[in-house]
């Protein structure tokens, strides 16, 4: 008997359904086939992952706020048209910093409070 004839005979014995024979030999699976394990464990791990992502988001926001504070300060100082004597130049830089620095400090303070 040729292989094709043997397969046809087996298929006829199974009622013409090869997949029934194959599925009958597979172990029983529940839910998603045990892919995710215990649902409570999955929920716990997902909550931990969400907490980690939220922490990473806070850190990224804080980094961006601090970088913005530095960039704001540098840009403001670079825009100053410094002229005059050394004392006049120092006074011009101080007047710019008096305006910009409180804003930069606020940004950094908010960034730090977001991390806590």
**Which residue range forms the structural domain that includes residue 13?**
1-30
- Statement to judge: residues 56 and 106 lie in one domain: yes
Percent of the chain with pLDDT over 70: 67
Q: Is the pLDDT of residue 105 over 90?
A: no
Q: Is the pLDDT of residue 85 over 90?
A: yes
- Statement to judge: residues 89 and 41 lie in one domain: yes
For the stretch 42-64, pLDDT in tens is 888 999 999 888 888 888 888 88
Contacts of residue 36, defined as CB under 8 A and 6 or more positions apart, other chains included, come to 42
- Statement to judge: residues 108 and 57 lie in one domain: yes
- Statement to judge: residues 25 and 46 lie in one domain: no
Confidence of residue 101 (pLDDT cuts 50, 70, 90): confident
Q: Is the pLDDT of residue 30 over 60?
A: no
Alpha helices in 1-116 (DSSP H): 3-13, 18-24, 39-79, 86-115
Confidence of residue 113 (pLDDT cuts 50, 70, 90): confident
Q: Which residue has the tokens 């907490």?
A: 51
Contacts of residue 42, defined as CB under 8 A and 6 or more positions apart, other chains included, come to 36
- Statement to judge: residues 50 and 94 lie in one domain: yes
- Statement to judge: residues 48 and 74 lie in one domain: yes
Q: Is the pLDDT of residue 89 over 70?
A: yes
The residue-averaged pLDDT of 9-30 equals: 53
- Statement to judge: residues 25 and 41 lie in one domain: no
What one-character DSSP code corresponds to residue 27? Answer: P
- Statement to judge: residues 41 and 25 lie in one domain: no
Domain count of the fold of the chain: 2
């Amino acid at each position: 008997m040729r292989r094709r004839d043997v397969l046809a005979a087996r298929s006829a014995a199974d009622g013409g359904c090869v997949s029934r024979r194959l599925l009958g030999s597979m172990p029983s699976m529940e839910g998603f086939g045990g892919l995710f394990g215990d649902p409570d464990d999955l929920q716990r791990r997902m909550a931990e992952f969400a907490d980690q992502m939220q922490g990473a988001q806070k850190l990224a926001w804080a980094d961006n706020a601090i970088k913005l504070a530095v960039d704001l300060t540098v840009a403001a100082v670079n825009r100053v048209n410094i002229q005059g004597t050394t004392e006049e130049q120092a006074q011009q830089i101080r007047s710019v910093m008096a305006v910009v620095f409180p804003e930069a400090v606020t940004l950094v303070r908010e960034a730090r409070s977001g991390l806590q």
